[in-house]
Structure 1
Amino acid sequence: MNKNLILLGLFASLALTTSCSNSESTSENEEEIIVSDQYLYEGDNSATALDWNGTYKGTVPCASCEGIETTLTLNTDRTYKLSTHYFGRNDALEEDDMGTFTWDETGSIITLEQVSNGPRQYKVGENRLWQLDMDGNMITGDLADHYILTKQ
């Protein structure tokens, strides 16, 4: 009988030790997942320090129309919806794109992955997005302020 109690106690302590070590490794794995969701960037940047998710809107210049009303919604699961409304062309042509976006290595620029045409990159700032040119550079010149979308 005593042997059975000793064996039972031994198995119980072994089970307890195993469950504690599994709990620690689960905790570490959960921490890794959280870190990966926070984008693995050091220091403050747009991806980690700003409340970037939401809907941004603005009218950007257009070479062949009166302007392009642009609405971009960024979701926390890194999906987006981009709606463009072309004024004065094809009866105010509207286009919608949906897909995913990625952050650059600095955590300050997003790239829209499934855009059918047009600009794909935006610099993320406090309650605004700057549309970048086709090469991913900030737009400069007299019309630069017209390439900003503001958070709604």
Structure 2
Amino acid sequence: MKKRIFLSGIVMSVVLMSCSKEKSTTETTNPKTDPMAIQTPVDTISVDSTAVAAQADNSQNSLDWSGTYEATVPCADCPGIKTSLTLNKDNTFSITEEYLERNTKNTDNGTFEWGARGSMITLNGKTAKYKYKVGENKLIQLQLDGKQMDGPNKDLYVFKKK
């Protein structure tokens, strides 16, 4: 009986030790000064950044991004522009922009392209040439150069998925 308890204790210890997190240390080596380091010329390695982006998790391949997004973005001479943007799986879009208190409504449609990293889209419509960062159930409108909006109204450029 004592042997069974002893063996059970050893088995439990082994199981618990195999489940615990271990700190690993990584030793860095300098290939130029360490004769044991594997030396691979950097310029002989060819990496296609588009292929790496396609393989890595990103907004394009990891999120359920298709659907309709809405926001009321700032307007220089009106209370705001109520905007509804629908993204389709076939990389087409439709957008409606309603200028509040003006009775003006613009609609456009076209295609959109994903950026190289798979986290940003650019609309290619007749008039709509916007850029958006794609997030979990949201789009963040970017400046035309791809930078995020700044200033006190930057939160107004966040589109929420319906």
Provide the residue aligned with 2:10 in structure 1. Answer: none
**Aligned-residue identity in percent:** 46
Provide the residue aligned with 2:67 in structure 1. Answer: 54
| Alpha-carbon separation, structure 2, partners of 1:68 and 1:116 | 15
Tell me the CA shift for residue 141 of structure 1.
1.5
Tell me the CA shift for residue 45 of structure 1.
0.5
Q: What TM-score do you get using the length of structure 1 for normalisation?
A: 0.69
Deviations 1:45-64 (A, max 9, x none): 00000000000001011111
Provide the residue aligned with 1:95 in structure 2. Answer: 106
Tell me the CA shift for residue 115 of structure 1.
4.3
| Alpha-carbon separation, structure 2, partners of 1:135 and 1:69 | 23
Q: Secondary structure at the match of 2:81?
A: strand
Match of 2:141 among 109, 119, 131: 131
Match of 1:104 among 94, 101, 115: 115
Q: Which amino acid aligns with 2:112?
A: F
Q: Secondary structure at the match of 2:61?
A: helix
Which structure has the greater CA radius of gyration? 2
Structure 2 unaligned blocks of 5 or more: 1-52
Deviations 1:103-143 (A, max 9, x none): 000000000011415x5101100000001112221001211
Structure 1 unaligned blocks of 5 or more: 1-39
| Alpha-carbon separation, structure 2, partners of 1:136 and 1:82 | 19
Match of 1:142 among 143, 148, 152: 152
Q: Which amino acid aligns with 1:68?
A: I
Match of 1:83 among 84, 96, 111: 96
Provide the residue aligned with 2:130 in structure 1. Answer: 120
Deviations 1:27-83 (A, max 9, x none): xxxxxxxxxxxxx61211000000000000010111111100010000000000010
Tell me the matched-pair count: 111
| Alpha-carbon separation, structure 2, partners of 1:72 and 1:146 | 15
Larger fraction in helix: 1
Q: Secondary structure at the match of 2:78?
A: coil
Is 1:63 paired with 2:76?
A: yes
Superposed CA RMSD in Å reads 1.6
Q: Which amino acid aligns with 2:108?
A: D
Q: What TM-score do you get using the length of structure 2 for normalisation?
A: 0.65
| Alpha-carbon separation, structure 2, partners of 1:43 and 1:149 | 25
